[in-house]
Structure 1
């Protein structure tokens, strides 16, 4: 079979149910490798080794190395969000904005080091090379904002929910950076206590 026919065959099969299943299987293997080893030296060849295939096969299923990386990081952020929601359920549920954000913060603060490391590295890549890795940053904001908007009181307008969600997201990101760069471990906790009080006051305000 010549190269053109091989490429056509792969691309046709990639859209089939079997091809989609194979794509998800590859993505899961690459995602697990990132969680275990970080993404500092991420490459298609490393990803292919983790998935037990070749880099050419990965490129039949994913548009590029950046596409594969973005989708694997998306899956890891979904894992982080699922952990927060599970913690909320285990705690009997939280019925205030401050309470829900508190659970999310504690989950983020105490999560497994490998997950935290790779997601911190993804943010670093976005800042280091925004042209190449802009999608990592945009994807992060969209995923987390959706969760934080869902924490807001139902009676609030869509604009108000988004404004408060933006505030919470930016503040929590700042706390994460503070924990990584400061020798004051209590600083982020003190800051979060102030954020929680502000959210309680915001929720007490009428529409």
Structure 2
């Protein structure tokens, strides 16, 4: 993680030919507000997120991101406030993809009516090759390594995942019960996913997930 590099905060005279806009000082997302600029920014962000999903966070820098996006680091500074901003937005995008895939897996099968069934259905999505698992867990590690600079990478994870788990809970449950159980599931899944990345003990992880499923079944039975 200590190889993570940020971009310069010095003024950068950068004009993106795709936008045709005049250069301004670095530290501002100058394409904001322009539909064409926003489309270009999203295109660049998609490419950087794809690179992160494959290659992870080590050695991440503006220049590496620029190579992945097929542009220059100055153009990235035109659209983003720096390397930290670009990394944060790329991680958020990868999580959005993961959440979208999880919701799609549940929506694809109307027979999934219980919390247990829904959690069981999203597990393959969370552990699959398309989930960006390695880089998303590296992002949590980065937040622990340097909380002053990267704490938001961890805070936003809960903000993105918790509403999904809440939506999986039975409608008849009290709101407090939904919150408690969702927090439990979130913590358990996060721990299992970190263990998968760090140890590769698939048999042990499968056993842990099976125990989580049994706990959810008991919880749902107790709640009626």
The TM-score normalised by the length of structure 2 is 0.80
Aligned with 1:205: secondary structure?
helix
**Distance in 1 between the 2:190 and 2:129 partners?**
17
Which of 127, 147, 153 is the aligned partner of 2:144?
A: 127
1:104-115 matched pairs, under 5 angstroms: 104-109=122-127, 111-112=128-129, 115=132
More helix by share: 1
| Structure 1 residue 181 displacement after superposition | 4.2
Question: Aligned pair count?
Answer: 204
Identify the residue that residue 194 of structure 1 maps to in structure 2: 211
Do 2:49 and 2:93's aligned partners in 1 also have CA atoms closer than 8 Å? yes
Identify the residue that residue 62 of structure 2 maps to in structure 1: 44
Tell which deviates more after alignment, 15-24 or 153-162.
Answer: 153-162
Aligned with 2:180: secondary structure?
helix
1:32-181 matched pairs, under 5 angstroms: 32-109=50-127, 111-112=128-129, 115-181=132-198
Do 1:38 and 1:114's aligned partners in 2 also have CA atoms closer than 8 Å? no
In the alignment, structure 2 segments of 5+ residues that lack a partner are 1-11, 15-21
In the alignment, structure 1 segments of 5+ residues that lack a partner are none
Q: Provide the aligned C-alpha RMSD in A.
A: 2.5
**Distance in 1 between the 2:164 and 2:131 partners?**
22
Tell which deviates more after alignment, 47-56 or 70-79.
Answer: 47-56
Aligned with 1:7: secondary structure?
coil
Q: Deviations over 1:121-179 (max 9, x none)?
A: 11221121111111111111111111111111112232221111110011111212333
| Cα distance, 1:24–1:197 mapped onto 2, change above 3 Å | same
**Distance in 2 between the 1:100 and 1:91 partners?**
9
The TM-score normalised by the length of structure 1 is 0.86
Aligned with 2:190: secondary structure?
helix
| Structure 1 residue 64 displacement after superposition | 2.3
